[in-house]
Structure 1
Amino acid sequence: MAVRLKDIAQDLGLSVVTISKALRNHPDIAEETRTRILARVKELDYQPNLMARSLVTGRSYLVGLVVPSLLHPFFAEVARSLSAVIGRQGYSLILASSEEDPELEAREIQQMTARRLDALVIATSGADAAPLERLQANGMPYVLIDREITGLATNFVGVDDVAVGRMATTHLLQQGCQRIAHIRGRDNSTGLRRFEGYRQALKKAGRAFSEDLVVARSNVDVDSTRMGAEAMRLLLRRKPRPDAVFAYNDPLAIGAMEAILDAGLRIPQDVAVIGCGNLHYNESLRVPLSSIDQRSSLIGERTAEILLHAIASKTPPQPVSVILDPSLVVRGSSLKRGAVQPAARSKKERAAKKTPARKASMKR
């Protein structure tokens, strides 16, 4: 017969409420009591009845995450940190991939809503606000990550994408690069803002913007390494060819590096490369990749905090926007001059590391 909370309570001479609080890491329970309860729970191999808990609490203790690709390292890192934070409060994460298809994304959101999940996290692939407005109308807490929807007032956690494009391009300019290409993202907030940062950096340096040096691909989160290689091969046919490229994300940059090396060119001597994500591929790369760190783990953590607060609130809280500062991480793929530079962090970012999570870089 399955072990019940009541059985553990009787065995230890404690109340069912005390056992329940200990299992949820409630601060009311003394550490000695919690340790004794957890040890007995492990001995008896107690498994909570999730359906019964759901009926009592009105919660499923499930959070859904819908992203363009489950294989993309950025979204995997966000999922890992998000799961770690909500897991400490007894929640589990359910994953779904939209494959960069807005229609599939809408179906995944609808299915998760039908399963009565407690909250959703979405990295949207489209620009249609209708599925998200339905979530709001139904009272479903959710957070958008990485990309926003214009005109939609909702929770959002991401990085300053204009700063990403500006920082990456400025670094290449400082390395003496003259013809800097850009492999673009899609026409969403992330792609457009990184492109804008690229153009701003060129303008500030007095460099003319050239459409010939900008290439867009149909997909940037799915099959992105191949897409990056295709884009780079197109750029290498330009006359004169670019001597640097800023790729929308790291997988595109890795594909670009493969195309450069396959063409018999050197990185960074002939073509310097920088991506975005700082996703720790360097052990598998022939040339370590310079990148813009977009704080993927922190995005997951901040998202979890907003969700847990929203779930616990009796009335829907005001939308929260968390914009994190990116930082430059220089490695061999872009360093044409001098020694490797340390990661450049802004004053705002350094302050955020010392500030409690709910106060760091938040706008309401």
Structure 2
Amino acid sequence: MMSFELTLVDIVDLLLRGGTFGVLLLLIIRFAQRPDFGPLCLTGILFGLSGLIEIILNARPMILVRAQDDFVLLGFQQFHFITMWWFIQALFDDQFRWRPASFWPFAVSPPLIAGSSLAPEHLQWWFMVALILLNVAILALIIHTALRNRSSDLIDDRRSFSLVLAFSVPPFSLFVFVTSFLYVEANLESYLGMVYSAVYFLLALGFSFWLTNLKEGLFQRSGNGALPPVARTEMSAADRLELDRVVKAMEGGLYLEPGLTIGGLADALHIPEHRLRRLINSGLGYRNFAAFVNDYRIDEAKRRLSNPALAREQIIQHAFSLGYASLAPFNRAFRERVGVSPTEFREAALSRPSTQ
């Protein structure tokens, strides 16, 4: 039977892992108990569960028990990376849903994991490098997802958190993954494990604190990325007046401005940007400025595509006149809201018998 002696460093390491385990378990329970259970809660649970397993498998006593059998740890680490990517997508993309493209890492990872552990020794290094590069790509996608829509995000807490997350969790995760391939002296390995546990505990604690202080709007979402707005009676008179100016400007056609941004709208209305974000978010229920603008644009697109006088107008011309820079984002926004492409919608609309 294998035996080992716990040092003070090992004891601190285990205590930190126990604390992280408890924090993640509480987060999992909170996600599971939410009445508005959806993709964000499900991906959060998967991410938390994979983190729990990795914490256990990465503990020094478990490493000694496993000896050189690393493919189990690599498999769970890889699953942790993938669930992290899913969770960040669900957190920052209000339109997130699983698509076939969401599962491509599962096609690439298994042969690389098997090769890095079971291939002939002279080939294992190449499989390890390929696996590291794969995870660099996944972490780059995580950073891109967190920062991509930050400028148009109307939820202030999520905007601030995106910067912290993008430049803390991915680099730390990559560091842990790379060091798992390195063979270091036992004492150094113990200290590295303790540092890893301490950082992981602080990250989990910080994230749980941020999540428990979030408004309910982060979880409540509908098909167009909106949430129930605050009743106008609960708004101050000044907020109601400014919100009326926002709606009047958009209904007057300001949404047709190419490349309209939250900053551009704020300048046009002479309203501070931070206040405009809050007004659109709380007063109209939108979580993202792009969704707010797209709703106006797609409503106008449906009107134009239903007009027999514009039946010969090319779809791309409609896209440009509605403020889109190209056809692709117009098609994507239209399909997300209407369920069919602009061409299909026009064919159906113009095929209906006219009423006198």
The structure richer in strand per residue is: 1
The structure richer in helix per residue is: 2
Q: TM-score range by the shorter chain?
A: under 0.3
Structure label with greater radius of gyration: 2
TM-score normalised by structure 2 residue count? 0.25
